Amino acid sequence: MKELNEHIKDVQKQISYWFDNVDLLYQAFTRRSYSQENGGENNEVLEFVGDRVLDFYVTKILMDRYGYTKSQLDDFDSEESDDEFVVDTYTNEGSLTNIKKKLVNKKMLAHRIDKLGFKEYLFMGNGDIQQHKENEESVKEDLFEAILGAIAIDSNWNPDELENSVSFMLNMDHYLNHGFTEDDDYVGLVQQWNQKEHGEVPDYDFQEQYNGGFIAYLILDTPRGRIRYQAEGDSKAEARVNVAELAYNDLDEHDELFTILDELPEELTLENSINTLQELAQKGYVSMPEYDLSEDQVYDNDGNSRWACTCTLRSHSIKEIAYATSKKVAKKYAAYLCICNICGLEDQFENDATNIK
């Protein structure tokens, strides 16, 4: 686990909110198991607050984006029609009810915590640490909501700050513009690039325009020198996505991006395959791997007993089944096969009949 105090500035950058009372942010990262062992408060009450904040501001942002009264239309005739509230159909994802469910469900909130890299900063008791509770979706969901609750208390329920942080933390403009996939998260991709290149989260500056929109500015130190990007958007979050996309495409055009191959160890082996796949998931290249070990052994054509393990990567629709002489080796081999599949590598153990198949 990483120490939160060493990364507290980066955390606040990523949620687009700077705390007056930073103790509230520490509380948001504190599990009950930790407070029971060490004293102090935990994040449960902040989670309660954040759940209400999330529900309200996701609804508000959706209504602001897709809803309007008929009088706002150029061809509105008050004599022929009542001034009623209308919501445009969002055909790509169905009804607004479905969109809202996708934005606030446990899986999405856990995914966003993974993207932000926040689970590593949790304060947990010994039992939680041993059980790796930080990997559970419900724990990450609680953390997401607790952070919003901390912002609510610290800002004295400032509506602009709350709406801004909900939009930033969920990256709503990305999902509403591109659909509910993990692809092309430009803010996350640029962040990964800058952290790998310079070891820090990039800074975004904003300028409000007279028409209510925003201009976002981003400065990156590239191999070509320091480059300043700017892009507009109707909100701070949208402007940030737009300028990040502009920067990402520029880095891509000049072959300055890292690829998944740059993240692999010098030699990919069975021993490092599980950790490697986990790190790729944490950095946003793939979804979190899901492993399914067989309850019973299977037998090959020669009558040798083998254990089976299936590794699934939902982001790439990949499912690899591996067979080995032990459960541990089967899991390692399944992770190894997934990495080979994604990266176009040859299976170096394909003909190893003694240890693996």
Residues acting as catalytic residues = 51, 145
Report how far residue 322's alpha carbon sits from residue 292's, in angstroms, rounded to the nearest whole number. 11
Burial of 174 (0-12, 13-18, 19+ CB in 10 A): buried
In terms of Cα–Cα distance, which of 199, 236, 205, 198 is closest to 219?
Answer: 205
Report how far residue 25's alpha carbon sits from residue 53's, in angstroms, rounded to the nearest whole number. 16
Q: Which residues contact 175 (CB under 8 A, 6 or more apart)?
A: 102, 103
CB count, 10 Å around CB of 290? 11
